[in-house]
Structure 1
Amino acid sequence: MSKKLSAVIEESLLSSTSHGIPNIIRSDKLAIRLMWIFFAVVSTGLCSYMIVQSIMNYFSFETTSKIQIHTEKSSIFPAITICNSNYFTSEYSAQFIKNFTFDIQSDSNYFNYDQYYKLFQIVTSREELISQSYKFGDSFEKLILNCQILTVDCKNKEYWNYYYHQLYGNCYQINTKKENLIKVSRTGWNNALKIILNISMADGLEGVYPTTGAYIMIHNQTTSPLSTDPFGVSPGLDTNIAISRQFKSSLPKPYSNCDDDTSNSDAFNSKLFKLITSRNISYNQKLCMDLCFQDLIIQECKCYHVDFPFISDQSIKPCYIENDYECMNSKIENDFKESSIENDACQSQCPLECNSMNYKIFYSFTDFIKEKNNDDINKFYNFTGTNRRQMKNDLVSLYFYYETLSYEEIKEKESIDLVGLLSNLGGIAGLFLGISFLSLVEIIEIAFQILHYFIKRTKVDEIRGQIKPV
């Protein structure tokens, strides 16, 4: 019986499409057979090694980046948030401070930081003042002196939104209303969005804040300014702000650390993630991590850090009293020494988004108002004597424009996909052993032949056992 089984296996191997085994069996000379055995073993070893390497490369989930430049005929302009860097600018602020008695000794003849922060704390913590906080800063009519893009007068309020910033107070956003989005089809300084700001303060506020200027934030229409780093603009300058764009699309896990579903508010069971998405803000990890750090300070100090985003319970007050500062600074120092604390606490709550649009800002400065221009403007408005103003200290000129309507798109693609893996395995197996996918069917056939042999043998034994000798 064993000879029949061997014959069945030998017949199947001789008809195999692989080159090594049939030649080993059919070789009638020992030297040739040993040669085929040697090369078959070497080829099998190399084949196995390279197949393992291919599988390991596939499961390392490496990616390649594809960079493309896309040119548009017209592009939506980014949203721009503009703030006076001084929280207290209005006549209402001047009157409030005039009627307020300070019990803080100033260390400076020019400016007292403690006095400023004391004022800020009072306005942002007293219920009767919180509802009136907008009166302390600039009105739209006062801050935005002029706005124009090509022939469009964008001084009209239909292009603007009011935005209250936790640190700068009254801010104004242009190009955030979906029904009045500004689109541009030309580039360069001559086609810029031109804005002139009046950042002056009411009489009596001198020395309330050490510097004057404006803070600018450039972001998407759906992105909160809190997640955007502001840049400052000083008075008396013509500021040219050239904008370029970069869109990055990353493959989700396991190819990178990003999560593909951050646009779905129900995708992650995270308090911070749900907090951001519930405010109709486009999610990004930077904002989430900042909010997480803010949350750690609130839990420990029962107040919030004004330099970090805060969109939680308004009953929580800013950290301004001495004990708050000590607690906050201690928390920052500890997290600086043990950076893993913040990562351990925040990373799990803040998934990384896969798609992002970044605005790159390039700005340059020139003088906006020279002394002669200042004299002409004072004469034109009849500002004389005590009414004479230094316009160079009061006005800011801004020019926003796309450097190009092209944007850079960076897309990640898996280095080896499933089709590539199968192609590699087939190529390696064919190169070293001469086998293909159908060779696997031959193995199945041999297994089937062996199984059929044993089933047939079992039935024969059962029949013999049932026949009684006479």
Structure 2
Amino acid sequence: AKSKSTNETSLRYTNDNGGSGKLILRLYAQSHLYVPHITDVDVSAGIVAMIHDNTQLPLIDVAGILLEPGRKHKLGYKKKQYKFLPSPYTYCTTDIPRPMRAMFDQYEGADYAYSQGVCYTLCTQAYIYEECGCVNPYEWSARSIVLRGTSKIAEAPLCNLTDLCYPVAGLKITKTSSIWDQYCSHCHQECSTVTFALMKSSIAAPSMPFIYLTKAHVESLSIPLPANWSTNWLSEIQNNYVSLEVVCESNQVENYTEEASVSAVSVLSNVGGHTGLWIGISFLSIMEFIEMLYRLCRYEFHSMKRILMNKFNNNN
């Protein structure tokens, strides 16, 4: 995440000091510590990765990429940036609502920007809280609620997983346009967004020499080993080892900038051009017409003034 205290001199790049320019990660899932204890859902061991801008709160459960164990993955990316015109051309915004600001403050030191997706989550949580007195536990980080009728920010409690109120309320707000407009009408599009076009590839890993290095490393950790490690260590490594390389495929950034097709000057030019073309009116003609009205009004004023003066003199 971008730090609030970040400046140009504090940024570090993967090619600093002769680096390769790649982000290289070698990860081990340790699936035996948690997979056997989860029985109510289908759980698979692996790694979830996401490439995002450092001002964007990573919604990894929505946009994350699943990486299979036993393989060396490569993610090549190209950056794209979209910029939209502000009001009155679009309804885009950069203003961060108070509940979102309170949520971002939980990530100490992070300088996140406005996100429409996060705004939708928070407004949905606000409605669920109104209906149930608690919020969706799966969105545990989005608990900042503005209490109705006040400006106070409150941390809402999480609903029990077995509570049926929060899924019903969440479905109701998404299906009812009047409720959605009441709670989420302020969630406009971002004025600037950054996306990354990804190219994914992978090969089998680790290699046999590296398997023994991985075995020695896993055994050196203080983490308990599986009960059958001595006989099944090879399959355990293949089912838990994930290698990842993240590479920038191009230094060029694709910029898509929205521009007004008709400016204020163009509007005036079009109005003047069409009036001159169809009814023969030009700017000079308009000024002459205004001058004529002025002279007529002035003449009428002086005429009325003379009449009133004559009546006044005759009465005297």
Q: TM-score scaled by structure 1?
A: 0.51
Matched residue, 1:385: 230
Determine if contact 1:243/1:362 at 8 Å carries over to the other structure. yes
Determine if contact 2:128/2:134 at 8 Å carries over to the other structure. yes
Matched residue, 2:187: 350
Matched residue, 2:37: 208
For 2:172, give the aligned amino acid: N
**Once the 2 structures are TM-superposed, how far is the Cα of residue 250 of structure 1 from its aligned partner?**
1.0
1:193 aligns with 2:23: yes
**Once the 2 structures are TM-superposed, how far is the Cα of residue 308 of structure 1 from its aligned partner?**
2.8
Matched residue, 1:443: 289
C-alpha distance 437-278 of structure 1, shift in aligned 2 (>3 A): farther
Matched residue, 1:282: 113
**Once the 2 structures are TM-superposed, how far is the Cα of residue 208 of structure 1 from its aligned partner?**
2.3
In 1, Cα distance between the equivalents of 2:296 and 2:187? 57
**Once the 2 structures are TM-superposed, how far is the Cα of residue 271 of structure 1 from its aligned partner?**
4.4
Determine if contact 1:291/1:308 at 8 Å carries over to the other structure. no
Matched residue, 2:85: 251
**Once the 2 structures are TM-superposed, how far is the Cα of residue 442 of structure 1 from its aligned partner?**
0.9
Matched residue, 2:126: 295
Larger Rg over CA atoms: 1
Determine if contact 2:73/2:200 at 8 Å carries over to the other structure. yes
Matched residue, 1:428: 274
In 2, Cα distance between the equivalents of 1:316 and 1:212? 30
Deviations 1:149-176 (CA, angstroms, capped at 9, x unpaired): xxxxxxxxxxxx9xxxxxxxxxxxxxx9
Matched residue, 1:145: none
Q: How does 1:396-407 map to 2 (within 5 A)?
A: 396-407=242-253
For 2:184, give the aligned amino acid: Q
In 1, Cα distance between the equivalents of 2:119 and 2:273? 47
Matched residue, 1:307: 138
In 2, Cα distance between the equivalents of 1:207 and 1:382? 19
Bigger RCO of structures 1 and 2 (CA < 8 A, at least 6 apart) = 2
**Once the 2 structures are TM-superposed, how far is the Cα of residue 424 of structure 1 from its aligned partner?**
0.8
**Once the 2 structures are TM-superposed, how far is the Cα of residue 206 of structure 1 from its aligned partner?**
5.8
Q: Identify unmatched segments of 5+ residues in structure 1.
A: 1-78, 81-160, 162-175
Q: How does 1:258-269 map to 2 (within 5 A)?
A: 258-259=92-93, 261-262=94-95
1:409 aligns with 2:241: no
Matched residue, 1:367: 204
C-alpha distance 214-299 of structure 1, shift in aligned 2 (>3 A): farther
**Once the 2 structures are TM-superposed, how far is the Cα of residue 291 of structure 1 from its aligned partner?**
2.1
Matched residue, 1:83: none
In 2, Cα distance between the equivalents of 1:432 and 1:378? 82
Determine if contact 2:159/2:166 at 8 Å carries over to the other structure. no
In 2, Cα distance between the equivalents of 1:253 and 1:433? 34
For 2:23, give the aligned amino acid: L
Q: How does 1:33-182 map to 2 (within 5 A)?
A: 181-182=11-12
C-alpha distance 306-196 of structure 1, shift in aligned 2 (>3 A): farther
C-alpha distance 368-387 of structure 1, shift in aligned 2 (>3 A): closer
1:235 aligns with 2:60: no
**Once the 2 structures are TM-superposed, how far is the Cα of residue 297 of structure 1 from its aligned partner?**
2.9
Deviations 1:426-463 (CA, angstroms, capped at 9, x unpaired): 21223234432121221122112222322333344345
RMSD: 3.6
In 1, Cα distance between the equivalents of 2:27 and 2:280? 77
Deviations 1:293-337 (CA, angstroms, capped at 9, x unpaired): 2333344344443433524366723532x3x1x22332344345x
In 2, Cα distance between the equivalents of 1:305 and 1:396? 32
**Once the 2 structures are TM-superposed, how far is the Cα of residue 386 of structure 1 from its aligned partner?**
4.0
For 1:220, give the aligned amino acid: D
**1:396 aligned counterpart, secondary structure:** strand
Determine if contact 1:199/1:213 at 8 Å carries over to the other structure. yes
**Once the 2 structures are TM-superposed, how far is the Cα of residue 196 of structure 1 from its aligned partner?**
0.5
Q: TM-score scaled by structure 2?
A: 0.73
Determine if contact 2:121/2:142 at 8 Å carries over to the other structure. no
C-alpha distance 211-314 of structure 1, shift in aligned 2 (>3 A): farther
**1:447 aligned counterpart, secondary structure:** helix
In 2, Cα distance between the equivalents of 1:363 and 1:306? 32
Deviations 1:117-136 (CA, angstroms, capped at 9, x unpaired): xxxxxxxxxxxxxxxxxxxx
Determine if contact 1:298/1:304 at 8 Å carries over to the other structure. yes
Q: Identify unmatched segments of 5+ residues in structure 2.
A: 144-153, 220-228
Percent identity between matched residues is: 24
C-alpha distance 410-206 of structure 1, shift in aligned 2 (>3 A): closer
Deviations 1:173-213 (CA, angstroms, capped at 9, x unpaired): xxx97675333579xxx7421111111245x7562243211
**1:252 aligned counterpart, secondary structure:** coil
1:319 aligns with 2:160: yes
